[in-house]
Structure 1
Amino acid sequence: MKTIATLPKSSSGLLVLTSWVLIFMELCTVFSGGEAAHAVKRFTGLYTGPYFDPSTTTNITTQLGTHAYLPCKVKQLGNKSVSWIRRRDAHILTVDRFTFIADDRFQAFLVESTDTWTLQVKYVQARDAGQYECQVSTEPKMSHFITLNVVVPKIEIMGESDIYVKTGSPVTLKCIITQSLEEPAYIFWYHDGERMLENYLAISEIRMERVRADTTIGTLQIHHARPEDSGNYTCSPSNLDSASVLLHVLNGEHPAAMQRGKNSASPIPGWSHLSMGLGLGACTSPRFAFAIALSVAAIAELLVT
């Protein structure tokens, strides 16, 4: 009778375990497009816990009124949470996809293909500038800091704040926008609060052009100014402040007469009479003319008071 060799129990258990490992690896290969593949991808290699991708930026610059995106790349996150915190007031903005601030301009989302948790700040305001913390819920906490810089474009209408022209003259208003990272989608012009549309096209021309990498010029041209064209003109770019000027269309008046204000020079009482007396010097002796001038000036001063 032959003796059949048998494996020890320990060897048999090892064989079963090895078989299950091979089956599991085969299943991972078969379902490489599903959840199993995602799990294998996330935990590939020696798992040592979450860490920040060293290529993640630490500075973001955006323009006032636009949307800002602050990226935070966290590798091997596992079951940990990612929070965004505003450093100036230690306010928790988001935890994973949940928002914890009563400001719907803030939102966080995950781009799984790059393991990036991004904080979105819509319609950026000047006060949004500062440092933001991307924090992972390890023990102790891990943090990555990003500084948000907000560029505020400058806007002005070229020339004086009050413009004087004669009836029938051409008028060109230039709205200059500088320090602008993005070209505005549009520049609207308003005349006394009314947007200049089709009813103005017969007498005006409106255009916009990008002249440099950070400069845009909007132009309003009135071919033949009329008295009814007088008033306030405002250029209003998209997502930016506006600028205004006052246009005065004159019917032959001298502009200086309309510009006289409290800072204008006032005549000295009696001075016109003194000047008149001094004018006598052309036909009398200087000493006699000066005496008459002083007398006339003194009498005029008494009459005024």
Structure 2
Amino acid sequence: MGRRSSQHVVVVGVPWLGQNRKWVGIALIISGLLPLTATGGPSANIVGLPLGPGLRMDPYFVEEDNLGPPELSSSGTFPTLMRNISVNAGQTAFLECQVRNLGAKRVLWVRHRDVHILSVGPNTFTNDPRFYSRVYDDEGIFILEIRKTVKLDEGPYECQISTKPTKTFLVNLHVTVPSIRISGESSIRHLEQHSSLNLTCTFTTEESATNPQETNHQVTWFKNGQMISHPGKRLTIFTKDQSELSSYTLVSHFVIDGVTLEDSGSYHCESMASRSDPVRVHVLVDGESPNAWKTNGAIAALTTTLTTRYHDCTTWILPIWLILVHKVPECLWI
């Protein structure tokens, strides 16, 4: 009798989908999967598309995945996330934050103590060449690199997302100054020929300031500023790890058997960009006393001083003085 009326699903603006219902279903499935895979890379630049594990549309730090979306405080600001890192003075500090759903926003690194903007994205804004900005777009990772750290670098640094209000991730940098020294009360050692030279270098720092990935820390020895890379037949170097729960300690022994005059010189040790004060080693000639060496050193210093004074005097003053008064200038008197 009556004809069954046909019903078509019509999507506003896309009428042809009404006759292709299966393609509508496929499109919905794909659109549902996309947000699960997009986290922070180039796809995060699409404004208005919900991204990330929680299908959030707003930019946020990955640490919020475990804490949930932050709520505005009574003052209209977001709570600050925080992380602590420690390095030894002289090492490189890597301050890192990771952002999802950045979109058209920007990420800034700001030094807290003077509110100095150090970087915006990959661009660095400081005359200090030790600071360098690294950006890994695919992972949404922003790193502020501080090379050859000093104690003055210590303090909080803010990774900021340019939202309103600003979202902040705080990194507290702690710079530890290690202790490294060569044992002994005197910085001068006198040795008889054919005796043994034994120097002990102790390096100590906080355990938290060491990089767990660097498992091959060593103590390096130097003579007259030149690294001693290959111990010889008479030279022995051995280093022991004597770390405790709260500190990291290396003890290195430097031994030369049967010293000769050629072993005289200035020795120091280094580890993790830290350097000890030098120790001066003097091998005595047969029958020579340490006091005689001091006297010879004083005479050498006096000779150097007189030579310098004579050179300065003869270069400028002597010709003029001789022309005017025909006398020996006082700067040559002893």
TM-score range, shorter chain: 0.5 to 0.7
Structure 1 residue 191 corresponds to structure 2 residue 191:
no
Q: Take 1:134 and 1:28, find their aligned partners in 2: how far apart are those partners?
A: 32
Gaps of 5+ in 2: 67-80, 296-334
Normalised to the residue count of structure 1, the TM-score between the two structures is 0.67
Structure 1 residue 140 corresponds to structure 2 residue 143:
no
Match for residue 219 of structure 1 among 211, 235, 253: 253
Gaps of 5+ in 1: 261-305
SS of alignment partner, residue 275 of structure 2: coil
Conservation of the 8 A alpha-carbon contact between 1:88 and 1:130 = yes
Superposed displacement of residue 169, structure 1: 1.6
What are the superposed Cα offsets for residues 135-173 of structure 1, whole Å, 9 maximum, x if unpaired? 111112222221100111111111021122222221101
Superposed displacement of residue 122, structure 1: 3.2
* Closer, same or farther: CA 35–234 of 1 in aligned 2, 3 Å: closer
Of all paired residues, the percent bearing the same amino acid is 29
Match for residue 176 of structure 1 among 196, 199, 202: 202
Equivalent in the alignment of 1:246: 280
Structure 1 residue 205 corresponds to structure 2 residue 239:
no
Conservation of the 8 A alpha-carbon contact between 2:51 and 2:57 = no
Q: Take 1:47 and 1:193, find their aligned partners in 2: how far apart are those partners?
A: 58
Q: Take 1:92 and 1:184, find their aligned partners in 2: how far apart are those partners?
A: 36
What are the superposed Cα offsets for residues 54-102 of structure 1, whole Å, 9 maximum, x if unpaired? 5664211112232322232434433322111112232222222333334
Q: Take 1:68 and 1:45, find their aligned partners in 2: how far apart are those partners?
A: 32
Q: Take 2:224 and 2:124, find their aligned partners in 1: how far apart are those partners?
A: 42
Superposed displacement of residue 254, structure 1: 4.8
Match for residue 47 of structure 1 among 56, 61, 76: 56
Equivalent in the alignment of 1:80: 105
SS of alignment partner, residue 25 of structure 2: helix
Q: Take 2:162 and 2:220, find their aligned partners in 1: how far apart are those partners?
A: 48
Which amino acid counterpart does residue 207 of structure 1 have in structure 2? Answer: F
Match for residue 108 of structure 1 among 116, 134, 138: 134
Which amino acid counterpart does residue 25 of structure 1 have in structure 2? Answer: L
Normalised to the residue count of structure 2, the TM-score between the two structures is 0.62
Superposed displacement of residue 246, structure 1: 1.3
Match for residue 176 of structure 2 among 146, 151, 160: 151
Superposed displacement of residue 225, structure 1: 2.1
Superposed displacement of residue 104, structure 1: 5.5
Q: Take 1:32 and 1:44, find their aligned partners in 2: how far apart are those partners?
A: 8
What are the superposed Cα offsets for residues 204-225 of structure 1, whole Å, 9 maximum, x if unpaired? 2223332225111222211112
Match for residue 146 of structure 2 among 104, 121, 124: 121
SS of alignment partner, residue 58 of structure 1: strand
Equivalent in the alignment of 2:30: 27
* Closer, same or farther: CA 169–91 of 1 in aligned 2, 3 Å: same
Q: Take 1:212 and 1:96, find their aligned partners in 2: how far apart are those partners?
A: 40
Q: Take 1:197 and 1:2, find their aligned partners in 2: how far apart are those partners?
A: 101
Which amino acid counterpart does residue 280 of structure 2 have in structure 1? Answer: L
The alignment's C-alpha RMSD in Å is 3.8
Equivalent in the alignment of 2:120: 95
Q: Take 1:172 and 1:130, find their aligned partners in 2: how far apart are those partners?
A: 41
* Closer, same or farther: CA 232–35 of 1 in aligned 2, 3 Å: closer
Larger radius of gyration: 1
Conservation of the 8 A alpha-carbon contact between 2:59 and 2:103 = yes
* Closer, same or farther: CA 249–133 of 1 in aligned 2, 3 Å: same
Which amino acid counterpart does residue 189 of structure 2 have in structure 1? Answer: I
Number of matched pairs = 256
Equivalent in the alignment of 1:276: none
Q: Take 1:33 and 1:72, find their aligned partners in 2: how far apart are those partners?
A: 21
Map 1:247-286 onto structure 2 (within 5 A). 247-250=281-284, 251-255=286-290
* Closer, same or farther: CA 184–254 of 1 in aligned 2, 3 Å: farther
